[in-house]
Amino acid sequence: MSMPFYVSPEQLMKDRADFARKGIARGRSVVAVQYADGVVFVSENPSQALHKISELYDRLAFAAVGRYNEFENLRIAGVRLADMRGYAYDRRDVTGRGLANAYAQTLGTIFSSGGEKPYEVEIFVAEIGESAAEDQIYRLTFDGQVYEEHRFAVMGGTHDKVDAYLSEHYREGLDLPAAIRLAVDALGHDDEAPRSIPVTDLEVAVLDRTRSQPRKFKRVLPPALEPLLRDRT
């Protein structure tokens, strides 16, 4: 009778983590940048139908990298949870922190389970408040860990190089055009040599607190994006 193959719990978790990290690193980075009137999200994404950045609720947005089918399932679950809480209680009870905690529980359970592979995703959950000091960005990793980010955040791809560029060039109180240009320039510094990303390959969206309607999420489409990037120095 053959002996069953044994893998220590530590090695099993390490192998699952390495598997998830490799899958996430294969995608292009997503950048979130806080500016004077909200949070802007920028990603290199040539698809016009498969979005990495989406609305969750009135003041909340979702962004992700990794396997599309996995983070799309998470997005849909988040929208349903937000709608249910807003309908059953009050729209003010739907918060970024609450949704981030729900996502953390889901991702942590999947990662710890031996019955299925870990999700190859990282996600942002962002919420804007009445002022810049109240804005929140949460980054969630494949194993359910939650990080509260400030000023800017990067996930996916060669995020260390993009993060280094943002650390050097970010300044407080940016307006929206400057924040978009900074994010696009940072994404172009993800390799040894800087590169220019075509406008048609960019996905850009904002949570803008100056919008008069309750829903603060808005996409910045190529016709509006092109003149902003043309003015780069």
pTM reported for the whole predicted model: 0.91
Residue appearing with tokens 């396997």: 67
The CATH number of 26-230 is 3.60.20.10
Radius of gyration of the chain (CA): 18
Predicted confidence at residue 192, as pLDDT, reads 74
Burial grade of 39 (CB within 10 A; 0-12, 13-18, 19 or more): buried
Tokens of 49: 């139908």
pLDDT in tens, 142-188: 999 999 999 999 998 888 899 999 999 999 999 999 999 999 999 99
Instruction: Give the model's pLDDT for residue 49.
Output: 87
What is the Cα–Cα distance from 52 to 50, expressed in whole angstroms? 7
For the segment 77-92, the average pLDDT, to the nearest whole number, is 94
Q: How many CB atoms lie within 10 A of CB 109?
A: 10
pLDDT at site 113:
82
Beta bridge partner(s), residue 204: 42, 220
